[in-house]
Amino acid sequence: MRPVPEYDPTAWLMKALRETAHAMERLVWELDSRALMLRPDPEEWSCTELLWHMAEMERRYVERLEAMVHGDEPPIAAFDADSIGQPEALDDEDIFGLLEDFGIRRQQSVYLLWSLDERDWQRKGVHPYLGPLTVQQVAREMNEHDLAHLWQLRRLCDRLEAASV
């Protein structure tokens, strides 16, 4: 009998972060451009708007991680994910650019995190409201944000696919 490998929370976190871009792409791949732009409810985002939000958030996360890794307890900017507005206009061609933008930025994040040793994962930045945050806490926050929006995107895509049948 093969031994069960020891649970490594950092390895699992890295795996989850690495897989998000592909999961998003798989969800929207079969939808046509009209469906990607559709808001099923005026209070909900379209798939395109959701992907724009993910790309914008990843830009902020990359900036935060780089500051924390390269500085000595630097101040890190506060941002409220829910308040990041949507762009004035997106067209149906933007979806592939948004997927690519998110994928490139996420790759930056993952490569940066892969380069860290255990001590570096405990490096801190100082958030104006939350106080000191470690790199590990930021990476977990990224994963939680991913999971919430992947679930939202899956529900939205399922509704759009059901409506097209």
Q: What is the pLDDT of residue 103?
A: 94
- 51's CB contacts (< 8 A; 6+ apart) are 24, 28, 95, 98, 99, 102, 153
CB 23 within 8 A of CB 143: no
Where are the chain's structural domains? 9-164
Tokens of 69: 């890794």
State residue 60's pLDDT score.
Answer: 93
Task: Enter the pTM of the model.
Answer: 0.88
**What is the sign, positive or negative, of the torsion defined by CA atoms of 61, 8, 12, 113?**
positive
Provide the pLDDT for residue 5. 67
Which residues fall within 8 angstroms of residue 141, CB to CB, at 6 or more apart? Answer: none
Contacts of residue 122, Cβ cutoff 8 Å, sequence gap at least 6: 134, 135, 136
- Tell me what pLDDT residue 36 has: 85
Report how far apart, in Å, the C-alpha atoms of 77 and of each of 10, 12, 132 are. 24, 27, 12
First vs last C-alpha separation in the chain: 48
Tokens of 17: 């972060």
Q: Do the beta carbons of residue 150 and residue 23 sit within 8 Å? A: yes
pLDDT digit string (tens) for the chain, length 165 residues: 777 667 788 999 999 999 999 999 999 888 887 888 888 888 888 888 888 899 999 999 999 999 999 999 999 988 877 666 566 666 655 778 888 999 999 999 999 999 999 999 999 999 999 999 999 999 999 999 999 999 999 999 888 877 765
Pick the CATH number of 9-164 from 3.30.360.10, 1.20.120.450, 3.60.130.10, 1.10.3720.10: 1.20.120.450
Query: How distant is the alpha carbon of residue 55 from its chain centre?
Result: 7
